[in-house]
Amino acid sequence: MAGALEKISKRVVDGAQPPTDGEVFVWDSLVKGFFVRIYATGRKVYGVKFRVKGRQRIHTIGVHGSPWTPEEARSAAIEVLRQAKAGEDPNALKRETRFSLTVADLIKLYLSEGPATKPTKRAISWTTDASNLNRHILPLIGKKDAGELTKAEAMRALADIEAGKTAKVEKTSLRGRARITGGAGIAKRTGAIAAAMYSWAMEHNHLSRPENPFAKRNQESGRVLARFMTTAEMRTFHTAISTLQSAGAISETFADAILLLMLTGARKTEILGLRWDEWNPGRNMLILPPERTKAGGKTGERRILLAPDATALLERRRMQQVTAGNSTPKSEYVFPSAKGDGHAVGLRRAFKKVCDEAGLRDFRIHDLRHSFASFAIADGASLFLTGKLLGHSSTRSTERYAHLADDPLVEAVARIGARLGS
């Protein structure tokens, strides 16, 4: 836990560079034991080291940013040290008060302190968790005691989400609005997030209860089975994109985003948030920084090789965004928002229109990624190579495609049998 010693200020914390691996500490020169821990992912967490009854302890205060400024965190550290000097264990006191948390309190606790305990989890994943918990779980069961919540109450809340009881249109800015929807998919995802929140709270002694109220549904429903396109479906899907774009039913931005998803097997967030500086034409690949990829905390940057059609699509979009006499695109994003800054949003609605036009049922955006993998394996790619193409951090993620690897062998055996048979 060695590290630099200086007054911890906003300038110092904001300017501190993350290490290439592991973590580094900056110790405060004003309050002994007060520190900020900087992870390789860039996350910065305040804490304080103290001794109580002869034993050394560490108390996590919170992640740098609202509400934890250096001044607020230092004040919290001073209070922890005061309690320790009086012979009280601040960590034990913290656990005792949290056994009576409401679900609303638990959500705030999870979103504020959870990131410090899961440094490899991407910021965008925490944003998604916050959206689902605050928009669906909070209005339904936020006032209930988190430690006393029953499985029946948890399942009823998810059933209400599936029925659309939390659906609404929410104002996000002066002109912006977000359409909050329900449905089976949202209920399933929210249930998984709530289950993860409860598991975290129980693991870190924030809740004392024998079981996770959201776990049963999550285990019974299981993972949604991957849906793979056939070659004929892929052609029909491709035609549907062209038809809808020509008719003005979907924009060129969404049409191109869907096509690039098909051609790369990338995740939706990786493509919609794609920046021009992440495209390397000379090496014919996309190079995404760790914070932009799901497994970035384990695998580092993600390299996505581009097929000729994908390269042509990017070249066309770049030419469309470059103005006369200026070689820099008007937006930093390959798929910019039609209104204001940032990248395009709302791809799901355009994707649904394409699926309806193509006659595809129960097909999700993520199934484009599954289909990419199935075509790779059908063309002879090994599971290891397919995992590399998809950016998986371990072979376990690729094992769902193991049965597909047998298909070419079955066809080969059939051809051999036909030639050798009578």
- Return phi, psi of residue 63, to 5°: -80, 140
Q: Are residues 264 and 298 in the same domain?
A: yes
Question: On the CB side of 380, how many CA atoms lie within 13 Å of its CA?
Answer: 1
CA distance 92 to 87: 12
Which range marks the domain in which residue 107 is found? 103-221
pLDDT digits (tens, 9 = 90+) for 347-384: 999 999 999 999 988 788 988 988 888 777 777 777 67
| Among candidate residues 64, 89, 114, the one where a domain is terminated | 89
Look at 235 and 421; give whichever has higher pLDDT.
235
Region 213-234: mean pLDDT is: 65
pLDDT digits (tens, 9 = 90+) for 162-181: 999 998 877 765 566 667 77
Q: Are residues 188 and 117 in the same domain?
A: yes
Q: Which two tokens stand for residue 315?
A: 């070249």
Asked if pLDDT for residue 248 goes beyond 90, the answer is: yes
CATH number at residue 374: 1.10.443.10
Q: Percent of the chain at pLDDT above 90?
A: 38
Q: How many structural domains is the chain composed of?
A: 3
Q: Are residues 139 and 286 in the same domain?
A: no
Q: Count of CB atoms within 10 A of residue 399's CB?
A: 12
Average pLDDT of every residue of the chain = 83
Q: Are residues 379 and 326 in the same domain?
A: yes
Q: Are residues 72 and 12 in the same domain?
A: yes
Query: What is the reported pLDDT for 217?
Result: 42
Query: What is the reported pLDDT for 117?
Result: 83
Q: Which two tokens stand for residue 127?
A: 């944003």
pLDDT digits (tens, 9 = 90+) for 249-258: 999 999 999 9
- Confidence band (pLDDT; 50, 70, 90) for 398? low
Region 326-330: mean pLDDT is: 78
| Among candidate residues 57, 89, 121, the one where a domain is terminated | 89
Asked if pLDDT for residue 221 goes beyond 50, the answer is: no
CATH number at residue 21: 3.30.160.390
Query: What is the reported pLDDT for 94?
Result: 57
Q: Are residues 210 and 237 in the same domain?
A: no
Query: What is the reported pLDDT for 400?
Result: 60
- Confidence band (pLDDT; 50, 70, 90) for 138? very high
**44 within domain boundaries:** yes
Distances (CA, A) of 33 to 76, 99, 155, 188: 12, 27, 44, 43
Q: Are 276 and 334 in contact (CB under 8 A)?
A: yes
Q: Are residues 285 and 397 in the same domain?
A: yes
3-30 burial, b at 16+ Cβ within 10 Å, e below that, comes to eeeeebeeeebeebeeeeeebbebbbee
Global pTM reads: 0.50
Query: What is the reported pLDDT for 367?
Result: 87
Q: Are residues 262 and 382 in the same domain?
A: yes
